[in-house]
Amino acid sequence: MIGFFDVVIPAGAGDDPVVRDLCLQMEKGSWNEIVGPSGVGKSALFEVLTLRRRPVEGRLVIAGRNISRLGRRGLAKVRREVGSCPQSPVLLESRTAVENVVLPMVVRGDTAGAVKAAEEALGFLGVMPERDVPVSTLCDQHRALVALAMASVGSPSLVVVDGICEQLEPAVRGMALSWLERVQERGSTVVIFGRRAMSRRQSSIVWRLRDGDVTRTGEVERC
C-alpha cells in the first residue's frame, strides 16, 4: 500500500532535510502510528503521505502507485483514494456537518451511498445532533470529529490523521479511535501521527521518528 524508498523530505524550500534516506513499507489494511516529539518532521511527512507535497529525492509509492511516474490525472486519481485529517481541520464553514462529510465521497464518484455513509460516521462519532448545523457554529471538539468523519467516510484506501486525536478529550478520543478501528476492519490502511502511540490493538505498528529517520518498534506507549 505505502512505500518510501530512500526518500528525502526538506522542512521547507531550501532547508536542510528534516527526513532523509527514509525507507519503510506499510501493508494494505494495516494500522500504523508514527510518533515523535514536536519538531522532528511529522507534519512534513504527513504532507508527503497525503500528496500535499513531493519528496525531493527517492521513490514514493501510495495506494500501490509510483507517484513519481504519475501525471496530473493519475495523481488526482490517487488523491481521491486518500482521506486526510490535518491538525487544523479544513472545513466548508458555511456548509452543514453532513454536507462537509459527503463531499469526499462525491469527489470519488460514490454519490449513491454518500449520505448514508456520512450519517453513519456522524452517528458513531456522536455528532449526529449537529447533522444540519453549519460547521462554523460547532465547538472545536465537534469540528475535529467532523474532519475525522470526512477523512474516513466510505472507507478510502488510506486514512491519514495528523495529531488531531491528541486534541480530543479522553472519552471522545476513545470513540474516535474506535471509529478508525471500524474503518480499518473494512479494509482501509490507517496512519496516525502523534507524540505518543494510542493504539489498543495488538496488531498495531508503531514507527518512531527521530533525528531524520523512522524506525519500527513493537513498543506501544499508551496515553
Sketch out the chain's domains with CATH numbers.
Answer: 28-52+85-217 (3.40.50.300)
What's the pLDDT score for residue 163? Answer: 84
What's the pLDDT score for residue 223? Answer: 32
Rounded to the nearest 5°, which phi and psi values hold at 11?
A: -65, -35
Helix or strand holding residue 214 (H, E): strand 213-217
User: 120-132, pLDDT tens digit by residue?
Assistant: 999 999 999 999 9
Entry pTM = 0.90
- Beta strand 213-217 with 205-210 is antiparallel
Listed as own residue / partner, the contacts of 124-127 with beta carbons closer than 8 Å and 24 or more positions apart are 124/175, 124/178, 124/179, 124/182, 125/149, 125/175, 125/176, 125/179, 126/172, 126/175, 127/97
Across all residues in the chain, what is the average pLDDT? 89
Q: For residue 113, give the 3-state DSSP assignment.
A: coil
Comparing C-alpha atoms, which of 160, 60, 161, 151 is closest to residue 107?
151
Q: For residue 37, give the 3-state DSSP assignment.
A: coil
